[in-house]
Chains A and B, each alone.
Chain A
Amino acid sequence: MKKLINEVDDVVKEQLEGMAIAHPDLLKVHFEPTYVYRADAPVEGKVAVISGGGSGHEPMHGGFVGMGMLDAACPGEVFTSPTPDQMYEAAQQVDSGAGVLFIVKNYTGDVLNFETAAELAAADGIAVQTILIDDDVAVKDSLYTAGRRGVGTTVLAEKIVGAAAEDGYDLEQLADLCRKVNQYGRSMGMALTSCIVPAAGKPTFDLGEDEMEIGIGIHGEPGQKRMEVKTADEVTSILANEILEDPAYSRTVREWDSENGDWVEKELTDEPYAEGDEFIAFVNSMGGTPVSELYAVYLKLEEIVEEKGMKIVRNLIGPYITSLEMQGMSITLLKVDDEILKYWDAPVKTPGLRWGT
């Protein structure tokens, strides 16, 4: 294993200490338990937006803490979900009294830990809501699996929901917007190489020199299929078509209902995309793929979307939800309406995303 690290056990801690020193105007870091929070939290009268998950996906989530995005982020060990005490104490730290929205990626560990935290926070009198992000179309059925994983749409949801919170949305409005963004977003990823978790010291999976894996998650989970490496155009076509032709997707999600103080099951169906739809296109590097290659992907993606009578109206291109040093990329398309576009364009000031300020 060749990595730019000091001690394996210090990877997450040193990263967070470095962030705190680099961006004191934007964020602070709390240890025991670990969470990153806005330097000016709690923001008077504003609903707080909190997310979190395993480390190794930087800049997500800690790099998205700041004005117009997250109020707090709870990082776990590399690829391991954080624990409820982190989310619970982060919620106490950033809640202004207007409530807290947990944005949770759909991984069993993240879900169970955030659910436990939501119960703890609610028992403490904090108004809390949870919204699940499950946008990975590589997972076909929800009945026999833990459902679609939360991937690229998470970044877009954190941006859009964070801006709406800044604009004065209440907790319920914010939860509705976040659920809509999730239902409008679809993603799929691929890998050319595996990644190496520092504590494991060896590649998570073996991929031959001339092989690639289509439909991977962001933790080196196995994908849909393995095949010979293809050109950027061919790979882009595979992913784009899976996303654009994905049929209606139904599943039951469990959300915390702050009104009644209990879990409610909701049956959700994401409608397929249709001619005339407009998108934010997000071409993401898994960490090891250079931005230059992402632009070639974007070139082809734009062409495919246009051919279908749809249109990309905004884009985000770069490494934002990564998988350590993995070579590979993911494509996310998020259908937009006026509300989503308004909050996408709104100002944001975080270490990872910054515009309009």
Chain B
Amino acid sequence: MTTRDEIVQWLRKLAGVLTENKEYLTELDSAIGDADHGINMKRGFDKVMDKLPSVADKDIGNILKTTGMTLISSVGGASGPLYGTFFMRGGMTAAAKEKLTGEELLEMLQAGVDGIIQRGRAQPGDKTMVDAWLPALAALKEGLADDAETVDALRDAVAAAEQGMKDTIPMQAKKGRASYLGERSIGHQDPGATSSYLMLKTLLETLDASETETEAG
């Protein structure tokens, strides 16, 4: 089970992680984009932190939708509408829910990623965030189908996302500003795939931490 408090905790942690990785993401973006991914993500999640207290006691759907709307109106660039759509579509599946089973968590992430694909029209192999998300979802699905604990299935998903992120290095970009570089985009890790990996990794760390707490308690 993933509780509302864990979702809130995830978003809080994520704001910190994105702040820590602001320079790193921006540096990745300066190699093949326009050098603002880290700056934009930090600005967006700072705004989410401002909004979070007013919805932290609402249902998960409401929290995620508010996060999405906030990102859409504060991030700009391509990542604003993409991550905004991710949280909004994910939120729709979690309407009125205060906790999510493993399957519901998968459903939430799947709906979010479908939203990203629909809005950005990226295919696997285009060197985008989709290249981190799709293998992660496949691993999560497989783990849950094998009756693994949510947190263990998620651990596999994070490993798959990390591999997917690294696999963007040899790819030639076919979407976004990086695509204009043609072959010169080869050899660089995609910043969007990197921030997507960080999102999923932070979710795992959040669930791991609360599990440890429960055990200790």
Contact = CB atoms under 8 A, between A and B. Distances in A.
Contacts of B73: 33, 83-85
Contact of B184 (A145, A149, A222): A222
Given A145-B179, A222-B184, A113 B174 contact: no
A108 B72 contact: no
Query: Which of B36, B76, B82, B172: most chain A Cβ within 10 A?
Result: B76
B164 interface: no
A108 B36 CA distance: 14
Interface in A132-178: 139, 144-146, 149
Given A83-B76, A108-B176, A144-B174, A116 B81 contact: yes
B78 interface: yes
A145 B184 CA distance: 13
B34 interface: yes
Contact of A145 (B81, B82, B182): B182
Interface stretch (A73-81, A93-101, A302-310): A73-81
A221 B176 CA distance: 12
Interface range for A: 20 to 34
Contacts of B172: 144
Query: Which of B73, B120, B175, B180: most chain A Cβ within 10 A?
Result: B180
Contacts of B75: 83
A1 interface: no
A199 B176 CA distance: 22
Query: Which of A85, A113, A145, A204: most chain B Cβ within 10 A?
Result: A145
A112 B81 CA distance: 6
A163 to B, nearest CB: 30
Contacts of A149: 180
B40 interface: yes
B112 interface: no
Interface range for B: 20 to 34
Contacts of A139: 180
B72 A221 contact: no
B180 A145 contact: yes
A109 interface: yes
B90 interface: no
A113 B177 CA distance: 15
A119 to B, nearest CB: 10
Contacts of B177: 107-109, 146, 221
A5 B172 CA distance: 38
B166 to A, nearest CB: 22
Contacts of B74: 83
B182 A109 contact: no
Given A80-B77, A85-B72, A221 B180 contact: yes
Contacts of A76: 76
A125 to B, nearest CB: 20
A288 interface: no
B72 A84 contact: yes
A56 to B, nearest CB: 11
Contacts of B80: 81, 83, 109, 112-113
A272 B23 CA distance: 45
Given A82-B76, A146-B179, A113 B81 contact: yes
Interface string B31-53: 00011100110000000000000
Given A115-B81, A115-B119, A144-B172, A109 B179 contact: no
A217 interface: yes
A4 interface: no
A145 B77 contact: no
Contacts of B180: 139, 145-146, 149, 217, 221-222
B24 to A, nearest CB: 16
Contact of A219 (B34, B82, B84, B120): B34
Interface string A186-200: 000000000001011
A222 B120 CA distance: 22
Nearest to A113: B81
A79 B78 CA distance: 12
A301 B174 CA distance: 34
Contacts of A115: 81, 119
Interface of B: 34-36, 39-40, 72-78, 80-82, 84-85, 119-120, 172, 174-177, 179-182, 184
Interface of A: 33, 76-77, 79-85, 107-109, 112-113, 115-116, 139, 144-146, 149, 197, 199-200, 204, 217, 219, 221-222
13 contacts: A77-B76, A81-B77, A83-B72, A84-B81, A108-B176, A112-B80, A112-B82, A112-B119, A112-B120, A144-B179, A145-B182, A204-B35, A221-B180
Given A79-B36, A108-B176, 4 more contacts: A33-B73, A108-B120, A109-B78, A112-B120
